[in-house]
């Protein structure tokens, strides 16, 4: 924890580092949040895309099983995208 305070301790001879630690705490909270937020956003987006593609895959399989020719026309694809389940 005192590694971040190394520039202060080398420049100034302080016996009690409470005040610099209090000043440094909001900076650490901000940097930790700035590091965690992109990871959390990536996980959230990956989960969202996984769920949407899973639903789309199920509806695609359902429409393919209902189709006699085992192929879809352009209008079926637009219905598939709107249908989603």
Give pLDDT tens digits for 53-71: 898 888 888 877 777 776 7
Task: Give residues with Cβ within 8 angstroms of 85, minimum separation 6.
Answer: 55, 58, 59
Q: Is the pLDDT of residue 34 over 70?
A: yes
Model confidence at 80, pLDDT cuts 50, 70, 90, reads low
* Averaged pLDDT, 18-38: 92
Check: pTM over 0.85? Answer yes or no.
Answer: no
Q: Can you give the residue ranges of every domain in the chain?
A: 6-83
Task: Give residues with Cβ within 8 angstroms of 53, minimum separation 6.
Answer: none
Q: What pLDDT, on the 0 to 100 scale, is given for residue 26?
A: 94
Q: Is the pLDDT of residue 22 over 80?
A: yes
């Amino acid at each position: 924890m005192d590694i971040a305070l190394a520039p202060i301790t080398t420049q100034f001879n302080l016996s009690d580092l409470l005040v610099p630690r209090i000043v440094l705490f909001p900076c650490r909270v901000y940097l930790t949040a700035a590091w965690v937020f992109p990871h959390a956003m990536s996980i959230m987006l990956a989960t969202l895309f996984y769920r949407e593609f899973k639903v789309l895959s199920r509806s695609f399989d359902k429409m393919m099983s209902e189709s006699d020719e085992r192929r879809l026309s352009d209008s079926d694809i637009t219905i598939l995208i709107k249908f989603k389940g």
